[in-house]
Amino acid sequence: MSESPPLAETLARLDTRIAEKCLDRGEVLDVRALSGRTAISEGEIQALLDGEVPRDGRVDERIRGRVRALYEAYLGESGKRPADVCREVAGRLGISEKWARSLLNGDKMPNVPDLTLLAEFFRIDQGTKFFTDSASVALNGALQRILRELEGATEDGPLLKFTTKHGVVTFALRGKRLAPRKQEALAVMLDGLLSGEEAELR
């Protein structure tokens, strides 16, 4: 199984595709969305996109930071109280609520079994690698998905326009290639749903 190209190469290929399709780099490589997908800070994401070489630091700091970032994002998205989430995690991991709170706040280092269960709780496809990969490797993985979409999309494809308009980092079709008419129908439907939600929030 071949390794993914390094981050610099992925960014170069992305910049080529973005220029070819006359897209906005900031919209395609949305820092906030990439931060949410990788649990890496927006500042670090921006630095990596700008070609800077980060200081990866210790693995335990990286793991604790990403667990905390996932927890905070989960609280914001779910609307649940911290105490309720700690209770759920404690039940899932078979630990006390106090220990669960320490893990979620990034105060304590989870062991491998707990980290595996935390990945399942937060629905992380990459498993424990999500927490242990360096920032550049993690970002490269997220950018590879975007690159595959750009390389597989038509120049003015409706799904490509949809993803850039709404800051969608990836759009998984599980390997299927939709005909242009079906792409248009799907993009219109999703655009209507998201636009409606945005209007309600105003």
Residue 155: per-residue pLDDT: 43
Q: Are residues 106 and 14 in the same domain?
A: no
1 within some domain? no
Residue 189: per-residue pLDDT: 75
Domain boundary among 132, 156, 176: 132
Q: Are residues 140 and 99 in the same domain?
A: no
Token reading at 136: 């550049």
Q: Which range is least confidently modeled, 51-60, 97-106, 156-165, 181-190?
A: 156-165
The rounded distance, in Å, linking the Cα atoms of 124 and 193 is 25
170 within some domain? yes
Convert the pLDDT of each residue in 83-132 to its tens digit. 999 999 999 999 999 999 999 999 999 999 999 999 999 999 889 999 99
- Number of domains the chain is built from: 2
Provide the whole-model pTM. 0.69
Going 70 to 12 to 9 to 53, the CA torsion angle's sign is negative
Token reading at 202: 């105003």
Q: Are residues 69 and 124 in the same domain?
A: yes
Local confidence band at 202 (pLDDT 50, 70, 90 cut-offs): low
The angle at the Cα of 105, spanning 100 to 110, to the nearest 5 degrees, equals 55
- Residue 131's alpha-carbon distances to 73, 90, 100, 101, in angstroms, are 15, 19, 17, 18
Domain boundary among 100, 132, 164: 132
Over 70: is that where the pLDDT of 28 sits?
A: yes
Domain carrying residue 186: 7-54+134-201
Q: Which range is least confidently modeled, 108-117, 146-155, 184-193?
A: 184-193
Q: Are residues 93 and 142 in the same domain?
A: no
- To 10 degrees, the CA torsion angle through 10, 16, 22, 28? 10
